[in-house]
Amino acid sequence: MDLKRISIFIFMFSFFIAVAQEKGQEPEGRQINIVYGANFTKDEEQFPGASIFSKDDERQVQFEHQGADLWCDIAIYYSQENRLKAIGNVRLQQGDSIEMNSVKLDYDGNTKLAKAMENVDLSDGKMTLTTDTLYFDREKQISFYRSNGKVVDSVNVLTSKIGTYFTELKKVQFRNKVHIDNPEYIIDSEQLDYYRISKNAYMYGPSTITGEEYKIYCERGYYDTKVERGYGVKNTRIDYSNRIIEGDSVYFDKATSFASATNNIKVTDTVNNSVIRAHYAEVFKEKDSVFATKRAVAINLVQQDSLYIHGDTLMVTGKPESRIVRAFRNAKFYKTDLSGKCDSIHSAEKTGITKLITNPILWNVDNQITGDSIHLISDLETDKLDSLKVLENAFIISLDTISKTGYNQAKGKDLFGKFIENELKIIDLVKNTEVIYYMYNDDQELIGIDKTICSKIRLLMANSDIEDITFFVNPDGDIFPDKELPVESRKLKGFIWRGDERILTKDDIFDEDDNTIELVKIRGIDNPIDIDAEEKERQKNENDPVNNIPNSKATKPKETAVKKVQKP
């Protein structure tokens, strides 16, 4: 068939289409238009009702439909049904933004739905999507695949079993075995929404981000893949080299090596076998430090017995072998046979010294110990308690366990104690020492009350009770019968019994304010967020020069923007 006959055919074909339109016989939607038909034929046996067009030596067959152009080597066109099959070097071009290539393509002009098959690639100029079969819904402006696909842009390579590309939003929604490859990190997820312009990723279901020096797990979260910054708001966990951070909402920024967490936080020190729990915490990786507040407690395992340290504010600083724990304001600690409180606590891993600073009080089982400053010293090799120092105004008191009315007391300028197998066994009081001690025989009958002063006293303890007393250097005193020692003389100067303040359990380290704290509401845990609106707002903020600063609230989750507590 020569070119002249083809042109006549095209003219007649267009004429019949026009007549059909006048008679209202046009199918729903505008008719597919033939731009260049090249060679024409028909095969009623194999393709009944179809017109077959094939390329010539000059160019491919070309069709146009509502703003889209299609080129191919062979086209099987069903004019009455307003659909066609394109075969060979198929290219679909929509405006200046979308180009799709494939070996085959089925296109329905009524629904504007295209199905591309074999070696399919779709590009918007900045991103390329490749798959074996791709559906392109031009009416809704979405493309989707169901049997594995790959998206490549300037930053990432993304793969998944199922994927949908939203043209107008420039977003790809990946589902089922989602995987992102980047030179700096790898992401695996069950569902991930990826915005092509911003390179922001929103994750749903079990998701893991593995970087060179960190690993993040969450089941709902956000991640800026350009700068490796984001947050998780469901079952979130960050693994650093020697710390694990968990919380209801966790924020992460690689550039500053910073992480913060809100509500039900747990920060685990994997080297020193210790844990911090709180409702707000900040972790500075490069500085090896943690700042925690809101019912904050540091928990350290010591010889199968946990030590709990609490304060309004906790700070843990230093390398693993040189960790320092500081508790500020209303500090308290508890372990099974030892507890105490003071204004602040300073505990150093390297020296093994824990200092109770400002108005300290210590309870060793039933013994109340006070002084201007109290130091607990641990053995650096065994981590067991080794010794005790009470400096200035040392005072030890215990309730007489038999009479239940009197108090055994010893005081001096300083107190030095020795622990054996974590039990306080030896107590030395020095300088200006005084003692009041209730003495009993083997039948637990009161012999008398010993009241003595001297330069030094040694108390030998058994089962946390005084077993023996030794007086050094000119002791002066006597044993008074019960009836001969007035009640007002049975207490040493400075005596204050604070038994009602004693910390008996790990829960006693928390005050009412700690137990009634109102947690921040984490947006997105219980109810889904409109991610498209969230992304639009985020991009608006990032394009605003005023808000576009590192670590601004524009880049952090609104639900974790908790005002920082002033560090001491």
pLDDT tens-digit profile of 309-319? 999 999 999 88
- Say which range, 239-248, 263-272, 438-447, 458-467, has the weakest mean pLDDT: 458-467
- Say which range, 173-187, 209-223, 431-445, 553-567, has the weakest mean pLDDT: 553-567
Q: How confident is the model at residue 288 (pLDDT cuts 50, 70, 90)?
A: confident
Mean pLDDT over residues 272-291, rounded?
A: 90
Is 42 within the bounds of a domain? no
Question: Count of domains in the chain?
Answer: 1
Mean pLDDT over residues 156-171, rounded?
A: 93
Mean pLDDT over residues 154-159, rounded?
A: 92
pLDDT of 24 reads 43
Q: Rounded to an integer, what distance in angstroms lies between the CA atom of residue 413 and that of residue 213?
A: 52
469-495 pLDDT, tens digit per residue, is: 899 888 898 999 988 999 889 999 999
pLDDT of 526 reads 65
CA dihedral (94, 95, 100, 105) positive or negative: positive
Mean pLDDT over residues 180-185, rounded?
A: 92
In the predicted structure, residue 125 carries a pLDDT above the cut 90 = no
Please report, as a single letter, which amino acid is at residue 562.
V
Structural domain of 193: 154-294+517-568
pLDDT of 301 reads 76
- Say which range, 16-25, 395-404, 426-435, has the weakest mean pLDDT: 16-25
Containing 6, the helix (H) or strand (E) segment is helix 3-22
DSSP codes joined into one string, 360-385: -EEEETTEEEE-SEEEEEE-TTT--E
CA nearest neighbour of 276 among 302, 244, 321, 318: 244
Mean pLDDT over residues 434-449, rounded?
A: 91
Is 115 within the bounds of a domain? no
Mean pLDDT over residues 178-191, rounded?
A: 94
Q: How confident is the model at residue 543 (pLDDT cuts 50, 70, 90)?
A: low
Looking up residue 183, the CATH number of its domain turns out to be: 2.60.450.10
In the predicted structure, residue 343 carries a pLDDT above the cut 70 = yes
Is 464 within the bounds of a domain? no
Q: What is the dihedral of CA 176, 181, 187, 189, to 10 degrees?
A: 0
Mean pLDDT over residues 264-284, rounded?
A: 90
CA–centroid distance for 159 within its chain: 25
Report the percentage of the chain scoring pLDDT > 70.
89
pLDDT of 383 reads 78
Q: How confident is the model at residue 525 (pLDDT cuts 50, 70, 90)?
A: low
Mean pLDDT over residues 146-174, rounded?
A: 93
pLDDT of 6 reads 43
pLDDT of 18 reads 39
pLDDT of 520 reads 84
pLDDT of 407 reads 94
Q: How confident is the model at residue 549 (pLDDT cuts 50, 70, 90)?
A: very low
Task: Spell 226-258 as b/e; 16+ CB within 10 A means b.
Answer: eebbbbbbbbbbbbbeebebbbbbbbbbbeebb
Mean pLDDT over residues 323-336, rounded?
A: 92
Q: Rounded to an integer, what distance in angstroms lies between the CA atom of residue 561 and that of residue 520?
A: 9
In the predicted structure, residue 63 carries a pLDDT above the cut 70 = yes
Q: How confident is the model at residue 553 (pLDDT cuts 50, 70, 90)?
A: very low
- Say which range, 94-98, 189-193, 228-232, 323-327, has the weakest mean pLDDT: 94-98
Is 212 within the bounds of a domain? yes
Q: How far is CA 94 from CA 63, 75, 91, 108, 319, in A?
A: 12, 18, 10, 15, 58
Question: Quick one: tokens of 562?
Answer: 């908790």
pLDDT of 365 reads 84
118 contact partners, CB below 8 Å, separation of at least 6: 102, 103, 104, 132
Is 6 within the bounds of a domain? no
- Say which range, 27-36, 176-185, 358-367, has the weakest mean pLDDT: 27-36
pLDDT of 10 reads 45
Q: Rounded to an integer, what distance in angstroms lies between the CA atom of residue 17 and that of residue 40?
A: 17
Average pLDDT of the chain? 86
pLDDT of 565 reads 35
Q: How far apart are the first and last CA of the chain?
A: 92
1-58 pLDDT, tens digit per residue, is: 454 444 434 434 443 443 344 334 444 458 999 999 989 999 999 999 999 999 999 9
Q: How far is CA 110 from CA 1, 30, 139, in A?
A: 31, 7, 10
Q: How confident is the model at residue 373 (pLDDT cuts 50, 70, 90)?
A: very high
pTM of the model: 0.79
- Specify whether the CB–CB gap between 306 and 300 falls below 8 A: yes
Is 560 within the bounds of a domain? yes
Mean pLDDT over residues 64-87, rounded?
A: 95
Please report, as a single letter, which amino acid is at residue 557.
P
Q: How confident is the model at residue 304 (pLDDT cuts 50, 70, 90)?
A: confident
pLDDT of 306 reads 86
